[in-house]
Amino acid sequence: MSAQGDPGPDDGRVGQLRWLIRAGVAAIALYLIADGLIGIWPDAGPTARVVIVVAVVLGVVAAGVGALYIVRRDRSE
């Protein structure tokens, strides 16, 4: 939004860029979390590693959905 509150012509691009940056940060965070958990259990087989990665992804998705719910609920009140 511009200084006067009217959306500018490039606001859509800025929003898209922010989402791309957030997605990149989330991907790096997922990698580091999953790598750390796999490092705790170095003897885990391939199936266990897949389960760990899936659990981390689901946990982060659940946290993101919860955060969006809280933010949107606060806006509507």
Q: How confident is the model at residue 3 (pLDDT cuts 50, 70, 90)?
A: low
What is the rounded distance in angstroms from the CA atom of residue 74 to the CA atom of residue 22? 21
C-alpha to C-alpha distance for 26 and 55, rounded to whole angstroms? 15
Give SS3 for 2: coil
Domain ranges, ordered by start, for the chain: 11-76
pLDDT, one tens digit per residue, over 22-59 is 888 888 888 888 788 788 888 888 898 888 888 888 88
Q: What separation in angstroms does the CA of 11 have from each of 19, 29, 42, 62, 72?
A: 12, 27, 46, 28, 20
Burial of 33: CB neighbours in 10 Å, binned 0-12, 13-18, 19+: middle
Rounded to an integer, the average pLDDT of 62-71 is 84
Band of the pLDDT at 5, cuts 50, 70, 90? low
